[in-house]
Amino acid sequence: MNKVGYLGPKGTFTKMAVDGLFDEIDSVSYKTIPACIDAVNAGEVDLGVVPIENAIEGSVHLTLDYLIHHVDLPIVAEATVPIRQHLLVHPSFEGDIGDIEEIYSHTQAISQCHQFIHQNAPQAHIEYTASTGQAAQLVLEKGARTAAIANEKAAREIGLKILKSDVHDYPNNHTRFVVLKQDSQPLSLEHTEKNGFKTSIMVTLPRDYAGALHQVLSAFSWRQMNLSKIESRPMKTGLGNYFFIIDVNQEYDDVLFPGVQAELRALGCQVRVLGSYPTYVVSDEKIKQLNQ
Amino acid sequence: MNKVGYLGPKGTFTKMAVDGLFDEIDSVSYKTIPACIDAVNAGEVDLGVVPIENAIEGSVHLTLDYLIHHVDLPIVAEATVPIRQHLLVHPSFEGDIGDIEEIYSHTQAISQCHQFIHQNAPQAHIEYTASTGQAAQLVLEKGARTAAIANEKAAREIGLKILKSDVHDYPNNHTRFVVLKQDSQPLSLEHTEKNGFKTSIMVTLPRDYAGALHQVLSAFSWRQMNLSKIESRPMKTGLGNYFFIIDVNQEYDDVLFPGVQAELRALGCQVRVLGSYPTYVVSDEKIKQLNQ
C-alpha cells in the first residue's frame, strides 16, 4: 500500500484531493508545504500531494520555489479539485444569517467570500484563524451566534450544520494540486477521471533582453505545441532575475521536446523538465460521494 | 493630507511599505485585500496599498483577480520591500534557541524559515497563527520558552526582544506592493528611492490555439519593448481559459503602446492597461531608520 503525505490537517482541500485521487492508501498529514516535500525527498512517504495554484491553505509560489530551489523531485500527476465554501454553524443553532455575531475563517477563505459576507452578514465581526478547519473547531466550542467558513468535509468531521452552502463569490473556483515522487514514472490511476497530459518545463534566460521570452516561445510555437500556462518567477538571487515555468499540453516525446531543449540550450538558456504527467479531475459528484 | 488604506493590522509588511513610501499621511488599516480595494473604489480613502507578489499576509492572485474582476482602479505606483524574519522572544527570556518549546507564526512565515527551524530548533512545537503580529502578541502573553517569527516592527511595537535576526531561508526575499487610486495619474514621491517605470497590461486571447501567446509577444518584441514579467491567470469562467498580465519596463507613450494595442486588437485580443507607474524601493536603511 502506498504511503501518501499531504498538506494537513484533516478537513483541508488537499485532503479532499488525496481522498478523491486514491482508493486504498496510508495517508500522513504534514503541517507545511516544505515539510511535506521534504518527507517525499527523504523517503518517509512514497508520494506527496501539495497545492500549486489558487489554494486556500498554501501558496503556489511556495510550492514552485521549493521544488525549484530545494529538491529535485518530479511531478507525476496533477489533480484539480472544485473549491466550495459553506457557512457552518453549531448543530444547536436555530436562527438565520442575520443572527450571527462572529464569523471565523482563514484569511483567504474570508476574502473568497467577501461579497457574500458584505451583503448578508454585515453585522458580523470577522475573526481570522490559521486554517478553515480551526475555524470550524472554534464554532463547535463557542456555539450559538458564531459561524465558520469552511468546506463540507470540515462540517462532517467536526459535526457542524451547513446553514448556507456555496457562499464563495466566484462560481468556478478550482485548486490545482501536484503529486510528487522520487522517480519520474507518471502516476496511473484507474478509478479517477483523467482529462489530459501535461509537461512542465523550467527555462532560465541567459540575460534580460528585449524579446528573449519571445525567442524562447518560438521554439514551441513553430512546432505547434500548445502552452496551457506560463509564469515568470523571480530567481532567489535578487530582484529582476526571472525564470519561466511553462506548461505544455502534451506528453514528453522523443522528437519535439528534445528539439525544443536543444534549441533553447543553443540560445544559452538552462532547461529543466519538472515532470510529464497525467491530469486528473476530482468531480463534484466524487466529493459528494466521499462526504456521505 | 492623503488618506491611505492598507492591508493591516499594524506590524504587517504592508504597513512597512506604507511607512517607507509616505511621510505625512493619515493611514487606515483594513482586514482583507478586497476590503482595502473596495475602500479606494468607494472613495473612503485616497490611496490603497496591497501586496501583489511574494507576500506573507496575502496572495498575489487575490489582488490581481480582484483588480481584474471587481473594480476598475489603476495602479499608480509600486513599492518593493525587503522581507526579513526574526526570532522574537519575551523581554525576560534568558536562554538560547535550544530552550524554546513553542514557536508561533503565520504559516507562510513558518514555511519561509523552514530550514532554520529544522536545523536550530527541532525540539520546538510549531503553532500557527492568523498573522505574524498575532504570533508576537501571543509571546508577550505566554512569556518564557515561547518565540514568534515576525518582523522588527512587531518586535518594537509589541515589546519583544530579537533573539536571532534574519532567520528566513532565502537571503534576497522581497515583496512587491501596488498603490491604487481612482484616477490614473502616476504617484510622484520625492523622498523615496525610485528605480524605474512600468506599464502593466492585461491581454485576453480570443481562443486557445498553439502559438497564440507567441503572436501576442511579437507585438512587443519587434518594437524592442522589454517585458519584466508575464503571468497567465485563469479566467473565472472555468478551467482552461486564461488571460495574461504583462509588465513592460517603460512608461506608456503615444507611439509604441497604442501600436501594440491596435495590433493585438486586430488579432482579436482584448487589451486593458492596468496602470503606468513609477517603481519605488523601500531600502533596508530606510526600514532601520523607521524602526528607531
Average pLDDT, integer, range B57-65: 77
Strand ranges of the sheet holding B146-150, from the earlier edge strand across to the other edge: B125-128, B102-105, B146-150, B86-89, B161-164
Task: Give per-residue burial for B148-184: e unless 16+ CB within 10 Å, then b.
Answer: bbbbbbbbebbebebbbeebbbeeebbbbbbbbbbee
How high does pLDDT run on average in chain A? 89
Q: What pLDDT score was predicted for residue A58?
A: 66
Average pLDDT, integer, range B263-276: 94
pLDDT confidence tier of residue B190, bands split at 50, 70 and 90: confident
**Helix (H/G/I), strand (E/B), else coil: A122:** coil
Q: Is A276 on the interface with B (CB under 8 A)?
A: no
Provide the percentage of residues in chain A whose pLDDT is more than 90: 54
How high does pLDDT run on average in chain B? 89
Name the nearest CA neighbour of B54 among A233, A201, A274, A230. Answer: A233
Q: What pLDDT score was predicted for residue B236?
A: 60
CB contact under 8 A, B239 and A213: no
Identify the structural domains of chain A with CATH numbers, from first to last: 3-82+174-284 (3.30.70.260), 86-171 (3.40.190.10)
Q: How far is B249 from chain A (nearest CA, A)?
A: 10
Average pLDDT, integer, range A153-157: 89
Q: Is A119 on the interface with B (CB under 8 A)?
A: no
Q: What pLDDT score was predicted for residue A55?
A: 66
The pLDDT of residue A18 is above 80: yes
Structure confidence by residue, pLDDT tens digits, B21-50? 998 899 999 988 899 999 999 999 999 999
pLDDT confidence tier of residue B57, bands split at 50, 70 and 90: low
Q: Which helix (H) or strand (E) holds A17?
A: helix A13-21
The pLDDT of residue B120 is above 90: yes
Task: Give per-residue burial for A90-117: e unless 16+ CB within 10 Å, then b.
Answer: beebeeebebbebbbbbbbbbbbbbebb
The pLDDT of residue A51 is above 70: yes
What is the distance between the alpha carbons of residues A76 and A72, in angstroms, rounded to a whole number? 13
CA atoms within 13 A on the CB side of B160: 34
Q: What pLDDT score was predicted for residue B174?
A: 81
Beta strand A242-248 with A227-234: parallel, antiparallel or unpaired?
antiparallel
CA atoms within 13 A on the CB side of B178: 32
Structure confidence by residue, pLDDT tens digits, A256-287? 999 999 999 999 999 999 999 999 999 888 88
Q: What pLDDT score was predicted for residue A193?
A: 85
Chain A to chain B Cβ contacts (< 8 Å): 143
Q: Is B221 on the interface with A (CB under 8 A)?
A: yes
Average pLDDT, integer, range B201-217: 82
Chain B, 154 to 193: residues with Cβ < 8 Å from chain A are 170-174
Residues in chain A closer than 8 A to B52 (CB atoms): none
pLDDT confidence tier of residue B235, bands split at 50, 70 and 90: low
C-alpha cell at B161: 526582544
Give the best residue of B12, B52, B59, B284 to mutate against chain A (max A CB count within 10 A).
B59
CB-nearest to B174 from A53, A134, A239 is A239
CB-nearest to B110 from A32, A126, A240 is A32
What is the distance between the alpha carbons of residues A252 and A201, in angstroms, rounded to a whole number? 10
**Helix (H/G/I), strand (E/B), else coil: B107:** helix
Q: Is A104 on the interface with B (CB under 8 A)?
A: no
CB contact under 8 A, B32 and A213: no
Q: What pLDDT score was predicted for residue A239?
A: 46
- Give the lowest-confidence range in A55-59, A271-275, B201-205: A55-59
C-alpha cell at B285: 536603511
CB contact under 8 A, B210 and A231: no
CB contact under 8 A, A231 and B231: yes
Tell me the sheet residues that pair with B174: B82
Name the nearest CA neighbour of B31 among A145, A110, A149. Answer: A110
Residues in chain A closer than 8 A to B128 (CB atoms): 31, 130-131, 134
Q: What pLDDT score was predicted for residue B108?
A: 83
